[in-house]
Amino acid sequence: MDTTLARPPIGQLLDGRYRVESHLAHGGMATVYLGTDTRLDRTVALKIMHAEFANDEDFVRRFVGEARSVARLSHPNVVTVFDQGADGRTLYLAMEYVPGRTLRDVLRERGRLSPREALDIMDGLLSGLAAAHDAGIAHRDVKPENVLLGEGRTIKVADFGLARLFSQASHTKTGMIIGTAAYLAPEQVSRGAADARTDVYAAGVMLYELLTGGQPHTGDSPLAVAYKHVNDVVPAPSGMVPGLPPALDALVALATSRDPELRPADAGQFLRAITGVRSGLPLGAPPAPLAGGPAAGRVDASADDTMPPAFALPVAWQRTAEAPRAEAARDLIPGMGPPPPARQSFGVPQNGADRPGGTRQWPPRPDQGGAHKTLIVSQGDGPYPPAARRGFLGPREPGLQRLLFSRRLAYVAITVAVLLVAGGLAWWVTQGRYTTVPRVGDMPAAAAQAELRDAGLTVVTGKAQLDNFVAKGQVIRTIPAAGARIARGGRVTLIVSAGPHMVTMPQVTGQPLANAKAAIQHAGMVLGKVKQEPSATIPAGIVISTNPAADTSWPQNKPVSLSVSAGPPVPNFVGSPKSVAEGWAAANGVSLDERTAHKSNQPVDTVIHQSVPPGSPFTKGQVIVVVISAGPPQVNVPNVDGMQVRKAIRMLERLGFDVTVHGLPIFRTVTDYNPKSSAPKGSVITLTTIPFGIGGGG
């Protein structure tokens, strides 16, 4: 995986607003930096996507939509997303900065937490998740690393929606399991399905880890761990830490049922279950960390954390052989379900006072002693059934025995029928007649209506609303919210976007850049790119043009771009004496970095290169590098005096000289040449000649 960034961000000013200060953390999708919002002068956390995601156009499109959805979450237990954007190929989120540690850091330090501490953290976690679930957003990657513990016992959930984006990235392999293996729900592994109930499962695994200091399933590879979630139940925490109250075992069992239908429907339901248990926990001191970590063995929790007897309810756990584990867990949690139905018994009661009419009071009164047991109901006119009493007196006649047996079967059949009817009615009243509102946000209105009708709901369309983040004709939200419980056939109101707010672009052409920025912000618009353009006629810092043009109606959330004069362009100094460049630089407040080229055929002190191309903008104080020729190299001139002209010319040209000849045109020899000794390569050597034999005495 390419975990590099689009470019090194330290010190960079993203979108002209967010200054990247220092590195905070590195992950599989992004790197987090501490940053400063220079516009509002506040500290932020900047999550910058790795290059492989920033280069995926489909991912970028979904990233923008997901960021808008998460930005609408406003809850004290959710990390706030302030802004999203792309600076070139740098894709980023600007988020609330939460100083402190992650829950994973605390677990590494402490090993495990006391029951009250664990449920306090779960309260904050589930409150944040419940807000997201009410808005139709599933987290998909709930784990201690994504729970931030700030100052003043602040608990915040981070990274909503990113796991879903990762799973939809175009380079993600088909069939890849997205999430952290230790917290994957069975349906995520087997079917790739994820909703609010998968978040509840991960929260249940986290509760187990907080109570025991270890994860319920381990293996040699993440895939092995994932498939344990499919095939094995999450064990009771008290199996690792003896003395933990049964109600805590029940909470873990309730949330981690392998059947999602048996879990709480969302984080809000799980939070209500935890609140019922949490209200009865004492303020016990936190336990010491496990020696050697969670794998060191079982730890007795009874010495440092006890539970009031009202929460030690073994009744439901006696039913685990007869009913699903999650249903039994509900009976241990206040408010999560009715008590188990009475079980018929025709045997002799074990202990406890008998009540008139043949029934026994259970649990026993405090003065009777004894442990909690399953409720037993007898029939007849005394503490024992008539048949049992007569059994002590002697044998009955066969006809009477058959009659009593038939009556007994009738009682049993009637009782079973009543229980089945009552159970079915109770299921229909409490669960069967309800469904949940599907998530249809950001869908076209017609598609949303079809999906809601397919779910058996009645659809009405409310008044359209302007929305800067949802395209016209798409659904902003539903009433009730996505994920909410609703009766089958109930009415759901769609709130559809009427498009963004439109504002009029102010006239800022010809104004200084600072004044133009202030006018754009005052109009409620978003400033986008500011492009510097050289101009020989417009002073530096003055706005040349805008997009859109002045008085144009423009979407409020669509960035406005400006072209600003950078002043006169840089001239072309190449081929000019260096004095020309030096004079221009002094007049315009620019510094020259002069460097000498010793291998150049240009005349000495001639500019042969400049670092800033001609026509480019410049700023005062800018440094421009110019390369100055030291002149061509010196070459020794051979002695050609008395040599035939043709031979002398060939010799001098091979050395890089140009040659001119003065004298008679035929039968010449060299009588003189200049310059002598040495001359710059490429310079002219002058030869003087006379005809052969003239002036030489015949």
Q: Which residues are catalytic?
A: 141
Q: Rounded distance, CA 125 to CA 528, Å?
A: 37
Q: Is the peptide bond before 383 cis (omega within 30 degrees of 0)?
A: no
Distance CA 132, CA 123 (A): 14
The amino acid at 472: K
As given in the structure block, the two tokens for residue 505 are 């672009």
Cα 172 → chain centroid? 16
Phi and psi based region of residue 393 (left: phi greater than 0; alpha: psi -120 to 50; beta: remaining): alpha
Counting Cβ atoms within 10 Å, is residue 172 exposed (0-12), middle (13-18) or buried (19+)?
Answer: middle
In eight-state DSSP terms, residue 182 is: G
How many Å apart are CA 110 and CA 108, to the nearest integer?
6
Tell me the pairing of strands 553-555 and 607-610. unpaired
Could you check whether the bond before residue 480 is cis, i.e. omega within 30 degrees of 0? yes
Q: Measure CA 399 to chain center.
A: 77
Q: Which residue, 77, 488, 483, is CA-closest to 265?
A: 483
**CA nearest 343: which of 356, 368, 360?**
360
Q: How far apart are CA 86 and CA 69, in angstroms?
A: 17
Do 571 and 614 touch, CB atoms closer than 8 A?
Answer: yes
HSE value, Cβ hemisphere, 13 Å, CA-based, for 496: 18
Please tell me the distance from the alpha carbon of residue 695 to that of residue 562, in angstroms, as a whole number: 83
Instruction: Tell me the chain's radius of gyration from C-alpha atoms.
Output: 43
Both structure tokens of 172: 């993600």
Listed in sequence order, the DSSP H helices in 431-566 are 445-454, 513-522
Tokens at 632, concatenated: 């061509």
